[in-house]
Structure 1
Amino acid sequence: MARSAILNVMVQAAFKAGKSLTKDFGEVESLQVSRKGPADFVSKADLRAEQIVYSELLKARPTYAFLMEEGGEVAGTDGQHRWIIDPLDGTTNFLHSIPLFAVAIALERANEIVASVIYNPILDELYTCEKGGGTWLNDRKRLRVAGRKHLADAVIATGIKTQGTANDTLQLRQLAHINPAVAGIRRSGSISLDMAWLASGRYDAVWEAGLAPWDVAPGMLMVKEAGGFVSDYAGTNGSVWNGQVVAGNESLQSALLKEIRSVQ
C-alpha cells in the first residue's frame, strides 16, 4: 500500500506518540498500583502523547482545527478540516500493564471522516484507511470484515463501564439479552482497537454507547472501508456525535441491531 501525503503525516504522528507511550508503559509496569500515583502518571503520559500528535499535525497542516480528548477544541483557519484525536485509547489497560491501547487519529473534511489511523505500539499493529482506499494493516494487508452470517457463530465486542448511569444499566441488560445468542462477547477496554479488529475480521460485530467523538471517528471509517456497516441504536447512519455504535457485516449488523433495540 502506498500512503498518501496526508496519511503519511498521520502515521508519523502516531508512531512518535506510540514511542513515547511505549517508554511510559515500561515505567508504569514498575509502579505500585494505587489510585493516586499511577493514575497521575498515566495522565501525564496521555498528555505527552497528545502534545506529540498535536505538534506533528500542526506542523504539517497549520490551518486545520483540532478536537482532542485532553486538549479540547482548537480552532483552525481552514474551515473545512479538523483532526480528531485520542492519544491513549485504553487508559485503564495502560495503567494495569495490559498491552491493549492505541493512538487514534481521524481527519474530518467538511463534516465527513475521510482518513484515520489506529496504532497499537506494543503489538506494533498499524491500521490505516482513507475514504475509497480500503483499510490496511501495517501497509501490507488489505482488510475485510468477517463473513459470518449468524449471531450464533459470532464473537462480538462491547464496552461496559458499569458506573451506575442509565446508559450503563441499559447496556448490562443488553449484555444479558445478547450473550445467549452469540458465540462469545469480549470487552477489550479500547473501542478503537475493537473497531480495528472488527475491520480485520477478528471480531464479527461491535456495539457500545456513551462514546465521545474521538472514540468513534477513527474506527467508524475503518469498518466501512473494510466492507462493514455502522449505525446508531436507531438504525440511522453512524455518527461521531451521538455516541452510539452498532457495527458488523451487513447480516450481523442488522441482526445485532434488532437484538439491541428489543431491550428497553
Structure 2
Amino acid sequence: MGNLIDDVAALMREVAAREIMPRFRLLKEGEIEEKSKGDFVTIADREAELWLTPRLEALVSGSRVLGEEAVAGEPARMGLIESDDPVWTVDPVDGTSNFIAGRETFGVMIALIRRGIAEQAWIYLPVPGELAIAERGAGAWWTSKGQTERLSAGHAPRELPDVAGAFNTRFMPEAWRERIEKFSAVVGRKANDFCSAVDYTAVARGRKDLVTYHRMMPWDHVPGSLIVREAGGVVRDMANGVDYAPRTLAGPHLVARDEEGWRRFADAIRGL
C-alpha cells in the first residue's frame, strides 16, 4: 500500500508511546476536563493531536488536519470537511471516557480524505498494540503480534439470538431510538464498548455483527467506515438508504458485516 500507510502507522505508534500510554491510569487532577455534558477531554487527547498535526500535514503537500480537539476549540474549522484539498481526520484518543476510567477500549483513529472521499484509514489500539489499515479499492488489513492478515467481515448470523450488536442511541431522534432499543432487546448479545475504534474494527473482523450511530463526526466515522467497507461490510443511513460519506454528519446509520445482514437488520429496525 505504499510508504504513506507505513509512515502514518509509525506516527500512531509513536504518539501512543509518547503522549497516551504514559498517562493511562495515571491521569492527575486537572488533566481531565468536560467540554460539554458527558463529553470529556484529557491532556492525552490534546497533546496527542498537537503532536500528530504538523507531522501528518508534512506527509501530504497542501493537506490540513481536521482534529476533534482543534474543532472543539475552533468550531469553524469543521468547514475543512467541505474542502477538495487533502484533509486528515484525527481522533487522538477515541473512547476518552474509557481511557479516563482505566478501561483498555480506546484507540487512535486517522483517515485521509481527498475531494470528499476517504482514501486511506488507520485505527490503532494502543493497549494490545493492534492496527487496522485500509486503502480504497485495495482492501483492509489487521496487524497483531507481528502478524498481518487481510480483513474479512464475513456474514452475520441469520438468527437474532446469535447476533452481537453495539447500540449507540444517545444522539438518536426519539422515534429511531425507540426502534433501536426494541431491536436491541431481541438480539443475542449487546456488545457496547462505547468506542468507535473498537466497534468498527470488531465488525471488520467479524467479532460484532452490527453497530448503530446517529452523530457522525468525521474523526469518529471516516476511518472505521472505510475499514469496514474494504473488509466487505456496509455503512449506510437507514432512513434514506444512502451510503455514509465523510461529509455526512447525521444518521441514523447502521454498520453491518455484509449487505444481506444490513438489509435484514435495517428492515427489522424500520419495522418496529
1:103-118 superposed matches below 5 A:
103-118=108-123
Shift of 1:53: 1.5
Match of 1:6 among 4, 7, 15: 4
1:1-264 superposed matches below 5 A:
3-19=1-17, 20-28=19-27, 38-39=32-33, 42-72=41-71, 73=77, 79-138=84-143, 140-152=148-160, 153-161=162-170, 167=172, 169-170=174-175, 172-233=177-238, 234-240=240-246, 241-244=248-251, 245-248=253-256, 249-263=258-272
Per-residue deviation, residues 98-154 of structure 1 (Å, max 9, x unmatched): 010110001101211010000010121111111122111116111111323415121
* C-alpha spacing 1:159/1:180, structure 2 compared with 1 (3 Å): closer
Alpha-carbon distance in structure 1 between the residues aligned to 2:43 and 2:175: 33
- The answer to whether the 8 A contact 2:163-2:188 is kept is yes
Alpha-carbon distance in structure 1 between the residues aligned to 2:63 and 2:31: 36
- The answer to whether the 8 A contact 1:159-1:191 is kept is no
Shift of 1:254: 0.8
| Larger relative strand fraction | 2
Aligned residues: 251
Alpha-carbon distance in structure 1 between the residues aligned to 2:66 and 2:159: 36
- The answer to whether the 8 A contact 1:216-1:243 is kept is no
Shift of 1:176: 2.9
Alpha-carbon distance in structure 2 between the residues aligned to 1:180 and 1:79: 42
- The answer to whether the 8 A contact 2:31-2:42 is kept is no
- The answer to whether the 8 A contact 2:56-2:65 is kept is no
TM-score normalised according to structure 1 size: 0.86
* C-alpha spacing 1:242/1:262, structure 2 compared with 1 (3 Å): farther
Considering only aligned residues, what root-mean-square deviation do their CA atoms show, in Å?
Answer: 2.4
Amino acid in structure 1 at the alignment position of 2:63: Y
Q: Tell me, which stretches of 5 or more residues in structure 2 are unaligned?
A: 35-39, 72-76
TM-score normalised according to structure 2 size: 0.84
Identity of matched residues, %: 25
Per-residue deviation, residues 44-92 of structure 1 (Å, max 9, x unmatched): 211011112212212222411221111133969x953111111111010
